[in-house]
């Protein structure tokens, strides 16, 4: 389980090695993504709070990167933070997420990105629930839910 100390260490000293890399030109990303997905995932934008389609969904499944479809978060670690963005306590695995210090807007935060394609996801904060104490605050437009198939 990742801790805030480990997140800061990644942001300052380098990130875990991804399983693979996906790199495309802006033109290729624009062809694949909607204008809003491109603005958020490729240009480090953000959606308005409480506007994202995935904010109130709690279906079982995996939340994958909108750009490269890499698994990022599992529905079992999603929680209602009241912030207006989907929130998670841990990534699906340690090397799924890339961390960078973000000093935009006069504050210091830790930006989180897909470690495979560098898509901007959102930010992580040390004010989440136990046991990790982490809150990954993620834009809905940066992810797609791959619902768990239930065999009946």
The residues assigned a catalytic role are 137
Tokens of 74: 């599992």
Nearest to 50 by CA among 87, 104, 92, 105: 87
Alpha-carbon distance of 3 to 140, in angstroms, equals 24
Q: Compute and round to an integer the Cα radius of gyration of the chain.
A: 15
Q: Strands of 61-65's sheet, edge to edge?
A: 71-74, 61-65, 143-147
Q: What angle do CA 125, 88, 14 make, to 5 degrees?
A: 55
């Amino acid at each position: 389980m990742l801790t805030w100390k480990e997140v800061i260490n990644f942001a300052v000293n380098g990130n875990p090695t991804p399983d693979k890399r996906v790199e495309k030109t802006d033109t290729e990303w624009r062809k694949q993504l909607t204008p809003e997905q491109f603005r958020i995932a490729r240009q480090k934008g953000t959606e308005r709070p409480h506007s994202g389609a995935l904010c109130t969904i709690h279906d079982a499944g995996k939340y994958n990167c909108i750009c490269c479809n890499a698994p990022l978060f599992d529905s079992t670690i999603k929680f209602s933070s009241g912030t207006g963005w989907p929130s998670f306590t841990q990534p699906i695995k340690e090397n799924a997420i890339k961390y960078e210090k973000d000093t935009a807007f006069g504050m210091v935060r830790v930006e989180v990105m897909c470690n495979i394609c560098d898509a901007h996801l959102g930010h992580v904060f040390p004010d989440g629930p136990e046991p990790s104490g982490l809150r990954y605050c993620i834009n809905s437009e940066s992810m797609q839910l791959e619902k768990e198939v239930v065999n009946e």
